[in-house]
A and B are shown apart, each in its own frame.
Chain A
């Protein structure tokens, strides 16, 4: 496959205690593309996405073998600074999770913790991040109001803006539209297509049409394994593995 490799996994395995949740994952994710991860519930796609920014570190009893290589460095290797890693690899969660503070402070939180203090600089980051997330026009007159007062769809775009505010290279999205109504979902899909010009995006989705609409490549997960990984068009039109075909034609899942 052409393009520059941004993230590559080699024989990645993950265990929760005795249970193996990921088996020998070898994926090559290209820069400035949208990679969709599809598969039935519990197949390991969310678990996989969380290995990329090491959010699984929070889970007691979670063990990882193999490598996740990000810009030629193994993120599980020695000397990897987890703070820098998470600054470069942002994440948007399944349920919008704005902090209980103003819209402005939500966006400024990331830049502030990474040392930006100047008001003018913060103002600029807040505005540009909100613009990138297509929400500036809706909130520009009420930046001081509590973010929890926004609608679910707005909250999720705010969370995307918050992730963009620390200037990441990769954005991980874990079913970002599963808690949203169809119109908010469409807005976020449009946003993703726009964002891929500047960011590498990995998105977990339950919704196959969504995967087909917005992604360049698709990986089909089943029982902790990657069954098939290819161009999205190939996966949906002409899958090589019969299990992939069964899943995308809706025979299970």
Chain B
């Protein structure tokens, strides 16, 4: 086969794959929004208010637990831990944690937080469960972004007489902040999309939550129940409407997070 032909085939494959990836994304999003957009109205929004509030609360509480712990763990593993063997073992444990199906987290959350700790079906139970679930993402992505910070930055700072902590806060974290934000966005995505674990720990109560001890129904769980029960002719229309809203919320969160930190990065 001539080189030119090989190049041609490879080029075609590369373009075709990218095209396939992007077009399937556009197709799915387009299909959902196309079918769901008609359902969106002020009334519809008010009807879904309990789910929207629950979803937002679950995101906030999970992030509040998981992000500080995850970032600290990643910093310890990458910047402080001296024993390579220990780091390897911990990283292996983290990767295994990431591979566990979410329903198992749900089961654990149900038995441990809901029943044993007597937190009942509540936003708190669910958020704690989700916090454990997203920890691997936060730790791994943060670790990767710390790896991207050149050692010459660390050396430069230490050689000026900066302490390790000063170097961490003034040099390393600012240099890694983009990756850390990516970690947060990815975990928000997982929280919003999670259904099984939330179903088992937060519950399905369709009311605006009064606090973190209230039970509630997130948008994903609501969507699941709508489709599963599919009562009435409008059930699918409503499901698509909910899905559209879910997409809009994710978009807003991602844009807000990026806006919030862009100023600092440049």
Contacts and interface: CB of A to CB of B under 8 A. Distances in A.
B6 interface: no
A177 B174 CA distance: 28
Contact of B158 (A58, A100, A162): A58
A91 interface: yes
Contacts of B162: 83, 109-110, 113
A153 interface: no
B161 A99 contact: no
Residue of B152, B156, B158, B170 with most partner-chain A CB within 10 A: B156
A90 B152 contact: no
Given A60-B82, A100-B175, A53 B152 contact: no
A44 B97 CA distance: 44
B82 A162 contact: no
Contact of B159 (A86, A99, A114): A86
Nearest to A109: B160
Contacts of B163: 83, 113
Contacts of A101: 174
Interface residues of B, number: 19
Contacts of A114: 161
Contacts of A58: 154-155, 158
A166 interface: yes
Contacts of A109: 157, 160, 162, 170
A101 B264 CA distance: 11
A87 B159 CA distance: 8
Given A97-B150, A99-B153, A100-B175, A113 B158 contact: no
Contacts of B82: 60
B257 interface: no
Contacts of A209: none
Given A100-B175, A113-B166, A113-B170, A90 B160 contact: yes
Contacts of A87: 160-161
Given A83-B163, A110-B160, A95 B175 contact: no
Contact of A97 (B155, B166, B170, B174): B155
B175 A86 contact: no
B205 interface: no
A132 to B, nearest CB: 16
Nearest to B162: A113
Nearest to A61: B82
Interface of B: 82, 150, 152-163, 166, 170-171, 174-175
13 contacts: A58-B158, A83-B162, A84-B161, A97-B153, A97-B156, A99-B153, A99-B156, A100-B175, A109-B160, A110-B162, A113-B162, A113-B170, A166-B161
Interface of A: 53, 55, 58, 60, 83-87, 90-91, 93, 95, 97-101, 109-110, 113-114, 159, 162-163, 166
